[in-house]
Chain A
Amino acid sequence: MSGRRPVTEEEARALVEPYANVLPKSLVEEVVRKVVENKLTLEEARRVVDRVVLSYMKSLVDPGEAVGMVAAQSIGEPSTQMTLRTFHFAGVRELNVTLGLPRLIEIVDARKTVSTPIMEVYLEEGYKNSREKALEVARKLELTTIENVSRSITVDYIEYAIIIELDPEMLENRGVKPRDVVKALNRIKGKKGSVELNGLTVIFRTGLEDAIKLRRTYERVRNLRVKGVKGIRRAIVRYDEELGEYKIITEGSNLAAALSMEGVDYRRTISNNIHEIAEVLGIEAARAAIIREMMNVLEEQGLDVDVRHIMLVADAMTFTGRIRQVGRHGVAGEKPSVLARAAFEVTVKHLVDAAVRGEVDELKGVVENVIVGSRTVPLGTGIVKLMMLYPKIEAEGSE
C-alpha cells in the first residue's frame, strides 16, 4: 500500500499545473501552499485541487449577464447612504482629505485637478527608521519660497533693487541657508542684475529701469522657489504603526519629482491624483489607483461593496489606454450608437447632428435596442443564437 506520505511542493504544483491557465495566479499559489502546509497525500491533494477548480468555475459569471447594470446599482445604492462630511487626519488639524461622495465623484469624473492632492511618500532603508532622516527628506520635499524665510521683503525704487531681510529662525526651520537664497536669485537675475549677501540681508539689484517691471519682479521674488518641490505645500512626517516605519504625508502632489528624490522608496510611494499616476506610472497603475481610491472611499464610509463592481468601472475607464471620465466626455459619450448617446445627455444635439450627417445606427448595443423595442436585446437570453441540427441534411436552418 502506498504510504500516507505528504506531497512535496513540486508534486502539488504539478497537480495544479493543468489548470494554471484557468485559475488566477494567486489562487494557484494559495492551493499549493495550503496543500503543503496541511501535509496532504497525493490522493487528498488531487481531490482538493478538483474541488477548488470546480468551485472557481461555478463562481464565474455567465456570459450575457448584465454586469454593468449590476455594478452600477451595487455602487450607486450604497452611495445614497454616504454622508457629506470631510474627514480630518487624526492629529493634524489642517490636513484634510476629500472623502465620501465628493471624492467618489472626483474619481469617476476623472478630474485633472484634485481638490486635496496628497502623496504618501515611503522611505527607503536607512531613512525609514530614523525620524531625523525622514525630516530631512520632508524638508527637501516641502516647498519653501523666499517669502517663507524672510522677515521682510522691500522694494527700493531709487536703486531699482529688492531688499530681503532673512529670518534666522525660519531659515533653520526649513533647513535653508542664506546662500541657497542667493543661488535661487541668481537663477532669475538676468544679465544686468546682481545679488549681494550681507549677513542676513540679501540685496538684489535688478538692473531694471522700468518701475512696472520692478514690481513684477518683486512678485516673482516673493514666490521664488528656494528649496523643495513644486506643488508640495507641506510635508509631514508620521510614524506608521502597522509598518513600524516613518513615512511622509504631503499636501500637494508631484509624483515625478518625489519618486526621483533620494531616500524615497519609489516602489511604494503613491499619490491620490489619478491623472498623475497615469502620466508617471502608466495606465495599468492608474487602473489600480482608481480601484484603490474608490474602495477606500466606500470602506471609510462603512459601506461594503464587492471589489469586482469597482474593477469593472476602473476597466471601463481605462481600457482604451487613457483615462476616460464616465460621463458624456468619456465612456458614455464615445458610444458608437446615436440613440444611446441621445438617451444619455444633450438629446436634441445628438439627434440633429446625426440627421444632418446621415448617420446610421447599427443597433448593436443594449440601449438602442431597448429604445427601438426590438425582439431581442443583446443581453442575457438575447445573446444566445440557436440553430437546429438536422442529422440527415448537413446544412443548418436557423431558429
Chain B
Amino acid sequence: MSTKFIIRIGPPWLTKYEKARIIGARALQLSLGAPPLLPVEEMGLRDPIEIASLELRYKLLPMVIRRWTPGGDYQDIPLKYLEIR
C-alpha cells in the first residue's frame, strides 16, 4: 500500500495567500517567456494570470511549498497534496 502524505503544518488545503503567491509567481515566469504548460493557442488564452490560474487549477504546476513554524520547523509540501478550495 502506498503511504499517504501527511501534512504536518498548516491546513490541508491551499491557503488564499499560497494560491495568490503561486499564481503571481507563475504569471511572472510566463510573462518573462517561460513555456506554458497548457495549449494556450487552442484555448485562446493570452493573459499570463489567466493561464497561471488554469495551470494551478488543473494541477499542472511542479511546485512545492515550504511551510515554516515559528519555532523553525518546516515541511515541504508538493502542490498536488493540497486541495484547492
Q: Which residues of B contact A389 (CB under 8 A)?
A: 62-64, 78
Looking at A152-160, A209-217, A377-385, the stretch in contact with chain B turns out to be A377-385
Neighbour of A390 across the interface among B11, B15, B24, B62, CB < 8 A: B62
Contact B63 A384, beta carbon cutoff 8 Å: no
Task: Assess the A62–B62 pair: CB atoms within 8 A.
Answer: no
**Is B65 interfacial (CB 8 A cutoff)?**
yes
B24 and A385 form a contact (CB under 8 A):
no
Residue A307 CB within 8 A of the other chain: no
B17: which A residues are within 8 A, CB to CB?
Answer: 62-65, 380-381, 383-384
Q: Choose among A58, A384, A388 the residue that contacts B18 (Cβ–Cβ < 8 A).
A: A384
CB pair A399 B65 closer than 8 Å: no
Report A-chain residues with C-beta under 8 Å of the C-beta of B24. Answer: 381
**Cα(A383)–Cα(B63), bound, Å:** 16
* Shortest CB distance A265–B (Å): 41
A240 at the interface (CB under 8 A from B): no
CB contacts under 8 Å to B, within A139-165, are none
**B32 smallest CB distance to A (angstroms):** 13
User: Once bound together, how far apart are the Cα atoms of A152 and B17, in whole Å?
Assistant: 76
Residue in A57, A386, A390, A396 whose CB lies within 8 Å of B25 = A386
The answer to whether the Cβ of A92 comes within 8 Å of any Cβ in the partner chain is no
Residues from chain B with Cβ under 8 Å of A387 in the complex: 63-66, 76
Cβ 8 A contact of A62, one of B11, B63, B65, B78: B11
Inter-chain CA distance A384–B18, complex, in Å, is: 6
Closest residue of B by beta carbon distance from A57: B11
> In whole angstroms, what is the CA distance A387 to B77 when docked?
10
Chain A contacts of B68 at CB under 8 A? 383, 385
- Interface size of A in residues (CB-CB distance below 8 Å): 20
Residues of A within 8 A of B78 (CB): 389
In the complex, per-residue mask of B36-61: 1 if CB is within 8 Å of any chain A CB, else 0 = 00000000000000000000000000
Interface residues on B, range: 20 to 34
CB-defined contacts of A384 to chain B, threshold 8 Å:
15, 17-18, 21-22, 65
Whether A391 sits at the interface, judged by CB under 8 Å, is: yes
Interface residues in A39-64 by Cβ distance below 8 A to B read 57-58, 60, 62-64
For window 359-399 of A, CB contacts with B under 8 Å fall at 380-381, 383-391, 396, 399
Interface centre among B16, B18, B20, B68 (most CB of A within 10 A): B18
Q: How far is the CB of B85 from chain A (nearest CB, A)?
A: 8
| Contact partners of A380 in chain B: CB under 8 A | 17, 20
Q: Using CB atoms, name the residue of chain A closest to B13.
A: A57
For the complex formed, measure the closest distance between the CB of B3 and the CB atoms of chain A, giving whole angstroms: 18
In the complex, chain A residues whose CB is within 8 Å of the CB of B10: 63
Chain A neighbourhood of B76, CB < 8 A? 387, 396
Given contacts A62-B16, A62-B17, A380-B17, are A385 and B66 in contact (CB under 8 A)?
A: yes
Task: Select A60's contact among B11, B20, B21, B22, beta carbons within 8 Å.
Answer: B11
Q: Quick one: closest B residue to A64, CB to CB? A: B17
Q: Which of B24-40 contact A (CB under 8 A)?
A: 24-25
Residue of A nearest to B11 (CB): A60
Nearest-neighbor residue (CB-CB) of A376 within chain B: B21
Q: B62 to chain A: which residues have CB within 8 Å? A: 388-391
Chain A's closest residue to B78 (CB) is A389
Q: Are B66 and A399 in contact (CB under 8 A)?
A: no
CB distance from B66 to the nearest CB of A (A): 4
Q: Kindly name the residue among A63, A388, A391 whose own CB sees the greatest number of chain B CB atoms within 10 A.
A: A63
Q: How far is the CA of A390 from the CA of B78 in the complex (A)?
A: 11
- Contact in complex: B64, A388 (CB < 8 Å): yes
CA–CA, A384 to B21, complex, Å? Answer: 7
Cβ of B36 to closest chain A Cβ, rounded Å: 15
7 example contacts (A-B, Cβ-Cβ < 8 A) are as follows A57-B11, A62-B17, A381-B24, A385-B65, A388-B63, A390-B62, A396-B76
Interface residues of B (CB under 8 A from A): 10-13, 15-18, 20-22, 24-25, 62-68, 76, 78, 85
